[in-house]
Amino acid sequence: MSSPNYLVTFTILALVSTVSGIRAQSLEPRAYSNAPVGLNFLLAGYQNSSGALLFDPSLPITDANANVDLGLLGYVRTLDVAGNQAKVGVILPYASLSASGSVDGDFRTRDTRGPSDPTFYFAYNFYGAPALSIEEFRNFQPGTVSGFTIKLTAPLGEYEPDKIINIGTNRWSFEPGIGISKPVGNWTLEASAAATIYTDNNNFDNGKTRQQDNIYSTQFHVSYSFPRNIWAAVSATYFTGGRTTIEGIEKNDLQENWRMGFTLSLPVNRNHSIKLYGSSGVSQRTGNNYDALGLVWQYRWGAGL
């Protein structure tokens, strides 16, 4: 039987890595698990990423290294949509970066900070996740859940068209995804797939047009629930695609990358929880040989909690 503190088994790490180019590499355990409707979540977090990292994998940069500090604020609410559980949310990131690399053979450095592109998020569990109140959820026995997600990232971040490396991207991106979650005793098995679709950046490198092919990704997660509503997950993601064209010239920057990661969720009390997470590139072709560590604090209220 589920207890009230088990309500927030889903993770909104899908929204944490909002800097372009890292998004397809983020890991999202328990993104499709069920929760009662009418709950509100306030998120605050911090992530550090360092290594051979590119904010935007379409950039014509080699031997790139960066250190990125990312802060975020977010809000998520669970909803009843056509009798099934859904979530809607927004994440507002702020980034500070120090980067270096060779741009077409010319070595450059870049230090900047400012707001990154915000992400808007909608998720709908169309199978196995009925819309339940907290009282109903206490007696709910979770089973197989299937759902889809939609993420929209707006070009509102800090962007300087005369700079190659930027915090913002000056383009929209749209990411539809679908996934399935299956509990087996204290274990939860998950798999998902998504595609990230980009509009053109028409003011790249002082007025050039940059186009990027879709990036296709898959994720796999295995998590375990411990006593006191603690859970931990190990995850893997593979993503490919993203070849770019700048002023009609196709670049040799196809992505074929693997990442591994972990997540640890620690409830503090009925309203507060903390999540620790990290990931590392294990096989890379473009901009994936970096390590990331982060912390998210989550406060929840509403729905008679």
Structure confidence by residue, pLDDT tens digits, 29-67: 999 888 899 999 999 999 998 887 655 555 666 677 889
Instruction: Please give the pLDDT value at position 1.
Output: 36
pLDDT at 64: 74
pLDDT of residue 54: 58
Among 114, 123, 105, 137, smallest CA distance to 37 is for: 137
pLDDT in the model for residue 51 = 85
pLDDT of residue 113: 93
Three-state DSSP class for residue 141: coil
Bridge-based pairing state of the strands 119-127 and 106-115: unpaired
Residue-range domains of the chain with CATH: 4-301 (2.40.128.130)
Query: Would you state the pLDDT for residue 138?
Result: 87
- pLDDT for 234 equals 97
Using pLDDT thresholds of 50, 70 and 90, give the confidence band for residue 294: very high
User: Considering only 17-26, 199-208, 259-268, which range has the smallest mean pLDDT?
Assistant: 17-26
What is the per-residue pLDDT across 101-149, written as a single tens digit (0 to 9) for each?
777 677 778 899 999 999 999 999 999 999 999 999 988 888 999 999 9
pLDDT of residue 165: 80
Name the residue among 265, 255, 259 with its Cα closest to residue 286: 255
Measure the CA–CA gap between 106 and 3, rounded to whole angstroms: 58
Q: How far apart are CA 5 and CA 64, in angstroms?
A: 43
